[in-house]
A and B are shown apart, each in its own frame.
Chain A
Amino acid sequence: DAGITQSPRHKVTETGTPVTLRCHQTENHRYMYWYRQDPGHGLRLIHYSYGVKDTDKGEVSDGYSVSRSKTEDFLLTLESATSSQTSVYFCAISETEETQYFGPGTRLLVL
């Protein structure tokens, strides 16, 4: 299995608070991705990174920001969490840009 960890694995927070999720890889892969998974929607891309300090928006980027200051870490921040951001968040990595490997996920509940 690809070396990908996500932290925290579970989080409960209140509406309006900032939240940061961390993705850490030990594979030295160039590309990193953040997805959210919701019933009936499969996985939807939030943001992705194609190198250190190089990031771009995905399909559902509103309300989220990301940062990548090191190859191994990709942070997802919810500046002011809303109940619609309750979801399961997955990080993925890729070297070839086509085949992606996924982390174990973070379950976020916004009350």
Chain B
Amino acid sequence: GNSVTQMEGPVTLSEEAFLTINCTYTATGYPSLFWYVQYPGEGLQLLLKATKADDKGSNKGFEATYRKETTSFHLEKGSVQVSDSAVYFCALSDLVDSSYKLIFGSGTRLLVRP
């Protein structure tokens, strides 16, 4: 079945460092891809999404490009801040029994130190 694999965390960076969180997927067809962020004690928030190959999703300085050839959707940010400390989830939208379901990776915790 379809699945999402994320890099193991935690990822620890200093403020203003460059961030990459890897995400690869297995899917039949052409799913939409998402990044969600979960701040401590809160629910998940949609960070960005891409609906077709070569699309780039972006929000709050974060970017991810839908790469069909490498089945990847890596999350990047040029300069992280302490406030970016959170857990990041990659997900794909899977059509199952005529309904879409989100399939999530296991999450990557990011810790940004001042």
Contact = CB atoms under 8 A, between A and B. Distances in A.
For the complex, would chain A's binding face be called helix, strand, loop or mixed by DSSP majority?
Answer: strand
Contacts, number: 46
Interface residues of A, number: 22
Contact of A56 (B34, B46, B97): B97
A99 B99 contact: no
Interface string B68-106: 000000000000000000000100010001011110111
B49 A58 contact: no
Interface residues of B, number: 22
Interface of A: 4, 40-45, 48, 50, 56, 58, 90, 92, 97-105
Q: Which 10 A-B pairs have the closest CB atoms?
A: A42-B104, A102-B43, A102-B44, A97-B100, A42-B106, A98-B93, A43-B104, A104-B43, A105-B43, A98-B100
